[in-house]
Each structure stands twice: as structure tokens, then as C-alpha cells.
Amino acid sequence: MKKDLGVHPYLFPMPVLMIATYGENDKIDVMNMAWGGICDHNKVALNITETHKTAKNIKERGAFTISVADLAHLEESDFFGTASGNTMEDKFERTQMHAIKSTRVDAPIIEEYPVTLECKVAKIQNDEFGFRVIGEIVNVLADEKVLDSNGKVDTTKLNAFVFDQFQNGYYRIGEKVGQAWQSGRRFMK
């Protein structure tokens, strides 16, 4: 029997997205967010509270990067979701992570994260449903150590983790349990 839990943002899994931007004087800001994802073959949607430093930077610069957080950097990634760039001037520096400037968009690439999407702002929506950024993916960068022999990202090598909104936990992902568009084929008969 199912029990009513009320209204909650309960979906699982939720991505752990590391949104990197430049602020004033090319100051690097990184935000950990779960309320975003792919919304088209070359687009992402980010649902951000407008008062975040990241939202201000995106409006001013028109660009951002999204990186996939990995287990090796779980503590830094969690910190980026705890500390505010509005109140902590040295937020990025405290982690001792490294960044380089993207050659495609006006945003930093965090070197330690294995996969990064370089995005330019396609549209900003600000209405009764909140502040939403639609970004166009202009390129994807991947560390060679997470690629398979065909040059595609191998999720078992990625060591990514996801966010659990039920218990506020992080969970390792990576075990393949089926093949998309194949595992349910028996129902096509």
C-alpha cells in the first residue's frame, strides 16, 4: 500500500551538476546544483534561485560550464553547494582545484572534473515558475581516462555520483544493468 508524503521534489536520481562561471574581475565561482538537466539534444536547463552568485554571473557573462562531479572530488563538490559565492570571496580557492578559461565560451573549465559541457546562454526565463537558464551546448570536453575504445564516455570509468532528495545523500553510480532501446524489446512482439 502506498502512503501520501505530500508535495516534495522527490525524483531519483538527481544529477550533481557543477556550474562554473566568471564574476567580476574574472573571479571563478562554482555552484553545485541538482535542479537541472538536458532539455534537448544540444540544450540544458538550469533552475536557479536568482539571488545566487551563479545566476548573476550567467546574466552578466552569457555563458557557463557544467561539469559532472566525480567521487574523487565529492567533498569539494558538496562544499560548492554549501558555501555561497555571495558571502565567501575565496570559495573556489579554498578547494585548491584548478581552472582554465574556455576557448569557446566566457566561463571557466574546472580541470579536476572529468566531463565538462561548455554552454552559452540561449534564453533566460524569469516568471512565476522561477528563474531558469536555457543553455546551448557548444562543446563537450572529456578526460581521456573516462573514454572507452570508441572515444565515448564510459560511465563505469566516470565515477559519478547522484543526489538523493529523499535522504539528502550522495550515491555512487556506474553499474550497467541494461541496454537502452533493447532491454524491453520482448514487449514489442
**Which residues, 6 or more positions from 83, have their beta carbon under 8 angstroms from its beta carbon?**
91, 94
Cα-based distances in Å from 77 to 24, 66, 68, 130, 178: 22, 12, 10, 24, 29
Asked, for residue 1, whether it belongs to a domain, the answer is no
Of the pLDDT bands very low, low, confident and very high (cuts 50, 70, 90), residue 12 is confident
- CA 113 – CA 143 distance, rounded (Å): 8
Whether 9 maps to a domain, the answer reads: no
Report the domain count for the chain. Answer: 1
Count CB atoms within 10 A of the CB of residue 177: 5
How does pLDDT run across 71-93, given as a tens digit for each residue?
Answer: 999 999 999 999 999 999 999 99
Residue at 101 is within a domain: yes
**Considering the entire predicted model, what is its pTM?**
0.93
Q: At which residue does the C-alpha cell 552559452 appear?
A: 120
90 found inside a domain: yes
Residue 107's CATH number: 2.30.110.10
Beta bridge partners of 36: 46
> Does 50 reside within a domain?
yes
Average pLDDT over all residues of the chain: 95
Q: State whether residue 188 is helix, strand or coil.
A: helix
Q: How many CA atoms lie within 13 A of 101 on its CB side?
A: 6
- Inside any domain, residue 41: yes
Q: Where residue 118 falls among pLDDT bands split at 50, 70, 90?
A: very high
pLDDT bucket at 27, cuts 50 / 70 / 90: very high
SS3 labels along 88-122? CCCHHHHCCCCEEECCCCCCEEECCCCEEEEEEEE
Residue 105 lies in a domain: yes
- Residue numbers of the domain that contains 145: 17-188
The reply to whether 2 falls in a domain is no
Give the helix ranges, DSSP H, for 38-108.
53-61, 74-82, 91-94
Report how far residue 67's alpha carbon sits from residue 17's, in angstroms, rounded to the nearest whole number.
6
Query: Which amino acid is located at 131 in the chain?
Result: F
Instruction: Indicate if the pLDDT at residue 128 is higher than 80.
Output: yes
The C-alpha cell at 92 is 573556489
117 neighbors 137 (Cβ within 8 angstroms): yes
Judge contact between 161 and 69, C-beta under 8 A. Answer: yes
Return d(Cα 20, Cα 17) in angstroms, integer: 10
